Amino acid sequence: MTVEDIRNVGIVGHGGVGKTILAEAMLHSAGITNRMGTIEDGNTVSDFHGQEVERQISISTSMMHLSWLKHKVNLVDTPGYMDFIGEVYGAMHVVDTGLIVVDANSGIDVGTEVVWQYGKEHDLSKIFVINKLDKENTNFDKIVEDLRESFGPDVIKVQFPYNPGPGFDGIVDLIRCKLLRFAKDGSGTFTQEDVPADVKDIFDEARLQFMESIIEHDEDLMTKYVSDEPISEEELKKALSHAVKHNEIYPVLCASAKTNVGPARILDIVVNYGASASDLPDVHGTDGDGNDVSRKCAAGEPMSALIFKTISEPHVGEISFIKVYSGTLKVGSDVYNAASDSTERISTLFVLNGKERKDTPQIECGDMGAIIKLRNSHTNDTLCDRSAPIALTKISFPEPVTRAALHAVNKGDEDKIGFGLHALHQEDPTFHHYYDGELKQTIVSGQGELQLDIVVHRLKKRFNVDVELSEPKIPYRETITKTADFRRKYKKQTGGRGQYGDVHVEIKPRERGSGFEFIDNIVGGVVPSKYIPAVEKGIRQAMEEGALTGSKVIDVSARIFDGSYHNVDSSDMAFQIAGAQAFKECMRKAGAIVLEPIYKVDIRVPEEYMGTVMGDVNSRRGKVLGMEMAGKFQVIRAEIPLAELYKYSSMLRSMTQGRGRHHREFSHYEPTPRDVQSKLMAAYSSEDE
């Protein structure tokens, strides 16, 4: 296959819209499978992992391929749940066309918006598929209207259903100007008929809009059109192909994947009008010196390939999903990874259909496949020719939106847990972990609670360690509200040389976010300058554990202005202890308060859930800062204490029937309410005892 004969298609969209079954129908139509699997039976090609079968959802990206009209079509099936949005970002980074699947009942969802926006940012060719047209109460025209309203007038109807609802088997195709009648046996085959008289007026209007939308994007055709010159079907198809490939037009197609009505024609359109890697701009990256370099998608170019996903299979090891952007990747070749400055020997290459692997001697530019057991290469690494090094542009993964504390059930498993967490992060870069020395907890974070539950399951199954998740501690802070001073004389005599340090310290509150300031106002050498750094060190140590909840103290100015010393008994240690004790006593007199971290939260929900979500924000001690419309969605901008955000992603989905999404980032610290501070102090006191 040459690059022009390959189509890389990402099947993307919100959860539950039928992406996996659409892929299943395409494979069956192409003769890859003898029968279509179902989600309920757990026997689809792309959802084969145990948790996917058990939970009946896609969790991991799957690669498949088929042959259609003498072209190779690579299908990349992606999860729809926001917990696994990193999988979608990885897939959309490497495919050439995004097939955005939309439910014929629910229409545009948050997931639709997310994949559209990502595809737009990366200039990805996009095609909409309105699926589940065999269901009751579908409204195809309303959804097309909503798509145009949300994503612009270049969303154009290329098909419309003839008899939507139970028994749906007919699609009116505006390219072929025919009614496509699909077989009832689920084979996916169809015959062509003339457009029925009862929809002829609808067809004529839709066909005119279809033609005018294409002509608007082609100057030559526009000239002919305004001059009333005839435009041939061949000219129209060529213009449509160019417009789709170059992101100027976004076709809307029809399907009922479950009954295999539509997928065969979708494949026709993907092959005839969808983009190949050769239609896209050259890829960019950096060479070994950090200079910008580019590669053409051509066999004669130096080899470069990006690892866009890593999975681990029992008895196999790590499998790296790759796309070859230039040159040819061959079995037996040595390739270079600039990120790890290491060489990898390519011992085996595969093409995939779900869990089924088939050996291949090489993968050409523009094609996709998999490599087993790379030693030092992981997701987002580039494999290339050592003589022409390049690090391709990396996938930009989203920041975490949820966090939890993870701890071992059995003592002694810490090392195994650390190894397992590191391996899981390499497979899924949206999963993060670190040990927080302040909180004394291992903190894991990701895109949602379900993702973290999957991590727990994988640690148990693959690394044989039992772990539990719990609510993480909150990194509270303490500060002061007024000025106070205290003189502390530290004196100790135990025989021989004693200890003596005497300091008079004053502390003042500082502006929020300004940090710590230490001022030396000693006059006349009452405390020798050589001991001043020890006083500061002692104060800084005391600030690590405040007086109210044991939290760090921030935004304080400390000033030493008096004291005394002993020629023999004074030492750095004595002044360090005196400084620390003086600061602690000052804290008790300076109106100490507890501060809590406040996060800026953007919540995107369908308009009908706005009241419920805003009420919930208020119940979490949140402040609504504003609202704005974004297509069919409302974006609520709020500030919410971190203490109130535990498991918020699950709560939000529950409130919005899975259609809500949020993003969070740290904003600032502010004082806790009196009742909250009292509870925190009581809990600290109890724990201290």
**Tens-digit pLDDT profile for residues 472-484:** 999 999 999 999 9
Task: Give the helix, strand, coil percentages of the chain, each rounded to 5.
Answer: 30, 35, 35
653, amino acid identity: R
Token pair listed for 221: 């055709």
pLDDT (0 to 100) of residue 132:
97
Closest C-alpha to 46, from 82, 71, 72, 10: 10
Over residues 36-49, the pLDDT tens digits come to 999 999 999 999 88
Is the pLDDT reported for residue 314 higher than 80?
no
Over residues 156-215, the pLDDT tens digits come to 999 999 999 999 999 999 999 999 999 999 999 999 999 999 999 999 999 999 999 999
Going by the DSSP 8-state scheme, the letter that residue 643 receives in this structure is G
Over residues 530-586, the pLDDT tens digits come to 999 999 999 999 999 998 999 999 999 999 999 999 998 999 999 999 999 999 999
Is the pLDDT reported for residue 315 higher than 80?
no
- Residue range 322-331: average pLDDT? 96
How far is the C-alpha of 83 from the C-alpha of 400, rounded, in Å? 10
How far is the C-alpha of 433 from the C-alpha of 438, rounded, in Å? 15
- Residue range 588-600: average pLDDT? 96
pLDDT (0 to 100) of residue 411:
85
Class of domain 3-279: alpha beta
User: Do 138 and 164 touch, CB atoms closer than 8 A?
Assistant: yes
Opening angle at CA 29, ends 25 and 35, nearest 5: 65
**Polymer length in residues for the chain:** 689
Let me know if the fold of 402-470 is the same as that of 478-591. Answer: no
Is 0.85 topped by the overall pTM?
Answer: yes
Q: Does CATH number 3.30.70.240 belong to domain 597-685?
A: yes
Closest C-alpha to 203, from 233, 164, 175, 236: 175
pLDDT (0 to 100) of residue 154:
96
How far is the C-alpha of 351 from the C-alpha of 357, rounded, in Å? 6
3-state secondary structure of 619: helix
Strand 190-193 to 250-254 pairing: unpaired
Contacts of 354 (CB under 8 A, 6+ apart): 44, 45, 46, 48, 62, 63, 64
How far is the C-alpha of 68 from the C-alpha of 75, rounded, in Å? 12
Closest C-alpha to 100, from 308, 278, 266: 266
Contacts of 468 (CB under 8 A, 6+ apart): 406, 407, 409, 456
Class of domain 402-470: alpha beta
Task: Give me the chain's average pLDDT, please.
Answer: 94
Contacts of 279 (CB under 8 A, 6+ apart): 96, 125, 245, 246
How far is the C-alpha of 216 from the C-alpha of 218, rounded, in Å? 6
Over residues 632-668, the pLDDT tens digits come to 789 999 999 999 999 999 899 899 988 888 999 999 9
Token pair listed for 188: 């996916």
Q: Give the CA diameter of the chain.
A: 113
Q: What percent of the chain has pLDDT above 70?
A: 99
User: Do 635 and 627 touch, CB atoms closer than 8 A?
Assistant: yes
pLDDT (0 to 100) of residue 613:
95
CATH architecture of residue range(s) 478-591 = 2-Layer Sandwich (3.30)
Give me the residues paired with residue 84 across strands: none
- The CA-to-CA distance between both ends of the chain, in Å, stands at 73
How far is the C-alpha of 271 from the C-alpha of 5, rounded, in Å? 8
CA distances from 293 to 90, 166, 254, 283, 393 (A): 22, 54, 41, 9, 11
How far is the C-alpha of 168 from the C-alpha of 170, rounded, in Å? 6
For the chain, which residues make up each domain, given as ranges? 3-279, 283-392, 402-470, 478-591, 597-685
User: Do 656 and 603 touch, CB atoms closer than 8 A?
Assistant: no
Strand 432-436 to 477-479 pairing: unpaired
Token pair listed for 14: 């919100």
Distance of CA 277 to the CA centre of its chain: 24
Q: Does CATH number 3.30.110.40 belong to domain 283-392?
A: no
Over residues 389-441, the pLDDT tens digits come to 999 999 999 999 999 999 999 888 888 899 999 989 988 999 999 999 999 99
How far is the C-alpha of 40 from the C-alpha of 218, rounded, in Å? 47
Q: What percent of the chain has pLDDT above 90?
A: 85
Going by the DSSP 8-state scheme, the letter that residue 261 receives in this structure is B
Is the pLDDT reported for residue 339 higher than 90?
no
- Residue range 515-542: average pLDDT? 96
Q: What H or E segment, with its residue span, contains residue 228?
A: none
pLDDT (0 to 100) of residue 60:
93
Over residues 228-255, the pLDDT tens digits come to 899 999 999 999 999 999 999 999 999 9
Token pair listed for 118: 């990502």
Over residues 110-166, the pLDDT tens digits come to 899 999 999 998 889 999 999 999 999 999 999 999 999 999 999 999 999 999 999
Is the pLDDT reported for residue 689 higher than 70?
no
User: Do 671 and 548 touch, CB atoms closer than 8 A?
Assistant: no
- pLDDT tier at 497, thresholds 50, 70, 90: confident
Closest C-alpha to 496, from 564, 576, 569: 569
CB atoms within 10 A of CB 332: 11
How far is the C-alpha of 393 from the C-alpha of 381, rounded, in Å? 9
Would you tell me the crossing angle of helices 263-273 and 233-245 to the nearest 10 degrees? 90
User: Do 503 and 575 touch, CB atoms closer than 8 A?
Assistant: yes
How far is the C-alpha of 284 from the C-alpha of 392, rounded, in Å? 6
